[in-house]
């Protein structure tokens, strides 16, 4: 059946509508069924997926590269403490600075890891190793500078990890996991490489918890419809603030030994309350207090009184 020709200015039927449209031929359809949906109104492509911009702002790229340099220095300081050579400095610097991001990109399966496709990351890590080789960072201002910079980088990397997880179409829990891995994964692999227990496993100031809070802030702001760039900024501020506050206040999570110590303290308090303290320790007299005389201590026995002498109290 030949297709009927429609002259310019005539209307054309819209498939599935049942009635012809009043739009001229060639004009964009403005009906609700064919109206383009703005990006902010588009539903997620599936489940918990969230559509985010493909590129990070340049300011976060600068902070990201600064974090690579800083973690390269931290890895080099560990190599200095272990008395490693130049190879050990470079290897620990690269592991500390890039292992978390590489592990994140491998788990997302979004192509080659970003730290390997962008040469500036490896260059920055090697520069950090050289800085740690020549500088000791033993002064108090230098240590404080490292702490502040590390806190900012922690929040930035946690937010970036959650950002990329959401951008890859993953849900909330994977985004939180990848945010934490991005922030603390490099330090964990570094500690294992030198034969030490990872510092984030306990006994140290809070580090993984601020990273988790930063990733949670990123996910929450994006899920509530906020701007992704503002979410990155808010998450970075939350993570850095909590990390600095934990360092200043010496906040730590309780460990098993703390629970055992509290249990022993409760047992001791129960023994004391029951009046059995003497079983555990000897009772010591108070210093400077003279004990009262025993009954009859000042009475002379009658057998010791000489004949014709008056006893105590006689005139």
- pLDDT number for residue 258: 78
How is 259-288 classified by DSSP, letter by letter? HHHHHHHHHHHHHHHTT-HHHHS---PPTT
Q: Name the more confident of 305 and 216.
A: 216
Q: How far apart are CA 51 and CA 42, in angstroms?
A: 9
How is 129-177 classified by DSSP, letter by letter? HHHHHH----SHHHHHHHHHHHHHHHHHHHHHHHHHHHHTT--HHHHHH
Tokens 């911009």 -> residue: 53
pLDDT of residue 35 exceeding 60? no
pLDDT of residue 282 exceeding 60? no
Q: Mean pLDDT across the stretch 109-116?
A: 89
Of residues 99, 100, 70, 95, the one with CA closest to residue 84 = 95
- At 21, phi and psi to the nearest 5? -90, 155
Locate the domains of the chain by residue range: 58-254
Q: 7 falls in which pLDDT band (50, 70, 90)?
A: very low
3-state helix, strand, coil in the chain (%, to 5): 60, 5, 40
pTM: 0.67
The backbone region for 152, taken as left when phi is positive above 0, alpha when psi lies in -120 to 50, beta otherwise, is alpha
Q: Mean pLDDT across the stretch 104-118?
A: 91
Q: Mean pLDDT across the stretch 11-35?
A: 41
Q: 223 falls in which pLDDT band (50, 70, 90)?
A: very high
Of residues 126, 93, 124, 104, the one with CA closest to residue 193 = 93
Q: Rg of the chain's alpha carbons, rounded to an integer?
A: 37
Query: Would the CA dihedral through 245, 249, 250, 253 be positive or negative?
Result: negative
**Residues ≥6 apart with Cβ < 8 Å to 110:** 164, 168
> What are the E-state strand segments in the chain?
11-13, 20-24
Interval 286-295: pLDDT, tens: 555 555 665 5
């Amino acid at each position: 059946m030949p297709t009927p020709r429609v002259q310019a200015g005539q209307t054309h039927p819209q498939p599935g509508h049942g009635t012809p449209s009043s739009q001229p031929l060639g004009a964009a359809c403005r009906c609700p069924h064919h109206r383009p949906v703005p990006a902010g109104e588009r539903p997620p492509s599936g489940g918990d997926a969230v559509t985010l911009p493909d590129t990070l702002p340049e300011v976060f790229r600068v902070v990201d590269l600064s974090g690579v340099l800083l973690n390269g220095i931290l890895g080099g300081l560990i190599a200095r403490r272990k008395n490693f050579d130049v190879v050990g400095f470079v290897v620990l610097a690269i592991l500390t600075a890039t292992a978390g991001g590489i592990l994140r990109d491998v788990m997302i399966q979004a192509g080659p890891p970003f730290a390997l496709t962008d040469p500036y990351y490896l260059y920055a890590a090697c520069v950090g190793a050289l800085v740690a080789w020549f500088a000791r960072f033993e002064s108090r201002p230098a240590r404080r500078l490292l702490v502040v910079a590390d806190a900012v980088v922690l929040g930035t990397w946690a937010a970036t990890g959650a950002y990329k997880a959401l951008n890859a179409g993953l849900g909330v829990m994977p985004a939180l996991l990848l945010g934490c891995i991005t922030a603390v994964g490099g330090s964990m692999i570094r500690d294992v490489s030198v034969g030490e227990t990872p510092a984030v496993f306990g006994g140290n100031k809070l580090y993984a918890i601020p990273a988790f809070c930063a990733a949670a802030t990123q996910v929450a702001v994006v899920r509530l419809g906020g701007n992704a760039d503002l979410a990155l900024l808010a998450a970075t501020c939350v993570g850095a603030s909590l990390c600095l506050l934990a360092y200043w206040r010496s906040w730590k999570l309780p460990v098993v030994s703390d629970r055992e110590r509290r249990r022993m303290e409760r047992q001791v308090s129960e023994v004391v309350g029951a009046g059995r303290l003497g079983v555990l320790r000897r009772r010591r007299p108070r210093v400077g207090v003279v004990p009262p005389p025993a009954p009859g201590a000042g009475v002379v026995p009658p057998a010791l009184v000489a004949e014709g002498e008056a006893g105590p109290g006689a005139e």
